[in-house]
Structure 1
């Protein structure tokens, strides 16, 4: 297996794990849904879980990897407001929880770059 395929599978695994977590433990995700979004937080939690599972499947298949990688990068950028909301909401929590919430913010950048790299043809690396 090539290095790029391994990277795609690792990212797919991360997304699949997160997608499953949206259904196994939805309350924690409901709390991060910005109130400015229409509809219920649970609907957004389920929709994002489905999106993560679909993106994971797309990354795992070579035929859809490139398009799925682009969509994954956009998804990571799109969920950034939820991470900002979580950091704001957790500003008064104990230091460890605050560090987790604030640590998620810059993490979006390497995730976006990772998704973009997975979508490049092997020859472009």
Structure 2
């Protein structure tokens, strides 16, 4: 199995799990949503649906590129929630997470954006097609 295929399947599974979590346990996601986002519970539910749709789309050849772009844009759009969570030290389930958690999470967001674009065959960078 090619590396890109493994990366695509892995990303699809991770986004599917995240989508289910957004839909079945939304409280933590609502808690980290910035105040300027209207209707946070609805937005969290819609993000769950978007994650599931993106995960499915990655696995369907005609939808793969659109799903890659959509998941990359999704990861960019939810980055403010991750920043809000870190900067405001929002406890989830009574637990305050340290910068050992937040720092890597924030730094990895651009990699997740790249991963979606690469797994969706939108870009080849930094690899070259043969």
**When the two structures are superposed, what TM-score results if normalisation uses the length of structure 1?**
0.86
Q: Number of matched residues?
A: 124
> What are the equivalent positions in structure 2 for 1:22-33 lying under 5 Å apart?
22-33=22-33
Q: Equivalents in 1 of 2:51, 2:96: separation in Å?
A: 29
Q: Take 2:65 and 2:16, find their aligned partners in 1: how far apart are those partners?
A: 17
Residue 79 of structure 1: SS of its match in structure 2?
helix
Equivalent residues in 2 for 1:8-87, closer than 5 Å: 8-39=8-39, 41-87=40-86
**Following TM superposition, by how much is the alpha carbon of 1:90 offset from its aligned partner in structure 2, in angstroms?**
1.2
RMSD, aligned CA: 2.5
Superposed displacement of residue 24, structure 1: 2.2
Distance in 1 between residues matched to 2:95 and 2:30, nearest whole Å: 21
Q: Deviations over 1:50-109 (max 9, x none)?
A: 110010010111221111101111111111101110001217998853422332111101
Q: Is the 8 A contact 2:64 2:121 kept in 1?
A: no
CA contact (8 A) 1:20 1:53 kept: yes
Secondary structure of 2:37's match? coil
Equivalent position of 1:113 in the other structure: 114
Please give the per-residue CA displacement for 1:23-54, whole angstroms capped at 9, x wherever unaligned.
22211100111110122x21111011111001
Q: Which runs of 5+ in 2 are unaligned?
A: none
Take 2:129 and 2:48, find their aligned partners in 1: how far apart are those partners?
A: 31
For 1:73 and 1:47, locate their aligned partners in 2 and report how far apart those are by CA, in whole Å: 16
Task: Provide the TM-score with structure 2 as the length reference.
Answer: 0.83
